[in-house]
Amino acid sequence: MTLPASGIRLDRATVRLGGRVVLDALSLNLSESRIGVLGRNGSGKTTLLRLIAGLLAPDQGAVSVDGFDPFADRKAALAALGILFQNPDHQILFPTVEEELAFGLIQQGHTPAAAGTRVAELLAAEGRAHWAKAPVTSLSQGQRHYLCLLAVLLMQPRTILLDEPLAGLDLPTQLRLARRFAALPQRLITITHDPSVLASTDRVLWLEAGRVVADGPPSQVLPAFTAEMERIGARDADADLAG
């Protein structure tokens, strides 16, 4: 199946995990600068992000990012897409800051020397030159999250996928990261269960059981989502999920 070579497109993309349908024949065209994906735990948000990133393939249907299949063409995916996971410890691979930052550049084909130069320049520009030789384990949770963001930015992707980017961080760190995200030129696709995070997006998708319940501007989707969550919360939420 051939999809148009512009933006991020899903054509009846279905994903099954453990015999269960997690994403159910999704067809989407994602071209806006700031897109939010909202839903309860288990709604399929993270699976959708992994599908777009090319970390898994659809069982049926097709996915296209700027005209290529991100699962089949990993080299193109490295250039086009960056992903920031909720837990930085699921993303960090190397013992020191400079090694972690250089890894993605080397994967893209830069020599270790060229990657080292780029890393040093970035850390200096960020006022963090003293981080270079620091063990990653010496950084706080917020600092490790920021390190992962810097690693993504070094690779200069056109789209960045954010998985609950502010969850578990203290308020000052949330504010700093939110300002940094807002200033980025890349397309951002943010998944979250917190509607307040998506107030300034261009478009919000509300997922429930692997399907899109609502799709539109935040002024329309967020109040509807909040009202439904309040309705569910007024009942026994565990019974709702079990049924």
From 126, 102, 122, select the one nearest 114 (Cα to Cα): 102
Distance, in Å, from the CA atom of 154 to the CA atom of 21, rounded to the nearest integer, reads 36
| Residue-wise pLDDT tens digits, 39-74 | 998 899 999 999 999 999 999 999 999 999 999 998
- Give the per-residue pLDDT at 19: 87
3-state SS, residue 216: strand
pLDDT (average), residues 118-131: 94
Residue 170 has pLDDT above 90, yes or no: no
Q: Over pLDDT 70: what percentage of the chain?
A: 94
| Residue-wise pLDDT tens digits, 182-228 | 899 999 999 998 898 899 999 999 999 999 999 999 999 999 999 99
| Backbone torsions φ then ψ of 143, nearest 5 degrees | -65, -35
| Residue-wise pLDDT tens digits, 144-164 | 988 999 999 999 999 999 998
